[in-house]
Amino acid sequence: MNQVGVIARTNKRNGPRPHGSRAKYVVEKCRCEACRTANAEAQRLRTRLKAYGRYNCFVDAEASRKQINFLMLSGMRIKGDISRLTGISWTTLWKIRTKQRTKVTPETERRLMELDPLVTERCGNYVPADEVWETVYRIMECGYSRAFIARKLGYRARALQIGKEKVRRETAERISELYRWALDNPAPVSPESSRSKNAAKRLLINASRKLEERLKRLEGR
């Protein structure tokens, strides 16, 4: 059964944009009640802003470009996440990011600025690898070796099969769960646990440096 106010898709392209948006009305030619209402509200807002002399068709795209870069550094993808969640065409997003488009509408900027990767927890399939590796080193700080962590994650090999640039979100969550377990169950004192702790101290120094570099890039957005 269709939701109230939303009839079956009438657009020929069956695009991914959500119903109840002006983009779906204009670009995909959807004429359901929700899309017609969104278009009418947008037109009324435009008329009011023009009457008060506050209407501006376009704004500089630099803030939007920095926001896209920030979202991507946070683990989101242009096509699979940012475009899907904002309703903005992924080609438009790509042109903004590569400076092919220097102006955007205020609505486009607003949608991008409202997208917070910290609130949208499962927006992307991948997360930055440096934070995941830091969690691995924290587990080693509890006295557990990499081979032990690999076994706990279900790997057949003794080596941890984790990327250096990005890591699947489900893998990152499993490692976080393992870290919480390790905090409550530290490894017994042994030569192996001592080696893991000593290695963790060295590795955490490098991991902290990498995290600081990424945070600087985020702050520079």
pLDDT tens sequence for the chain (221 residues):
333 333 333 334 456 567 777 777 877 788 888 888 888 888 887 787 777 666 667 889 998 998 888 887 776 778 767 887 888 888 889 889 888 889 898 888 888 888 876 655 444 567 777 778 888 998 999 999 999 999 988 887 777 878 887 788 788 888 888 988 998 899 999 999 999 999 998 888 877 777 667 666 655 54
**In 3-state terms, the chain is what percent helix, strand and coil (to 5)?**
55, 5, 40
pLDDT value, residue 6: 35
End-to-end CA distance of the chain: 44
Q: Is the pTM of this model over 0.75?
A: no
Contact 115, 68 (CB under 8 A): no
Contact 175, 153 (CB under 8 A): yes
Q: Which amino acid is at 191?
A: P
Nearest to 144 by CA among 184, 85, 91, 89: 184
In the chain, DSSP assigns E strands to 59-60, 103-104, 126-128, 166-168
Contact 125, 80 (CB under 8 A): yes
pLDDT in tens, 55-98: 667 889 998 998 888 887 776 778 767 887 888 888 889 889 88
Within 8 A by CB and 6+ apart from 165, the residues are 128, 129
pLDDT value, residue 88: 86
pLDDT value, residue 14: 57
pLDDT value, residue 2: 35
Query: d(Cα 94, Cα 90) in Å, to the nearest integer?
Result: 6
Contact 30, 19 (CB under 8 A): yes
Q: Which whole-number Å values give the CA distances from 138 to 5, 91, 212, in the listed order?
A: 51, 40, 17
Query: d(Cα 132, Cα 168) in Å, to the nearest integer?
Result: 10
Query: d(Cα 81, Cα 70) in Å, to the nearest integer?
Result: 13
Nearest to 6 by CA among 49, 38, 46, 53: 38
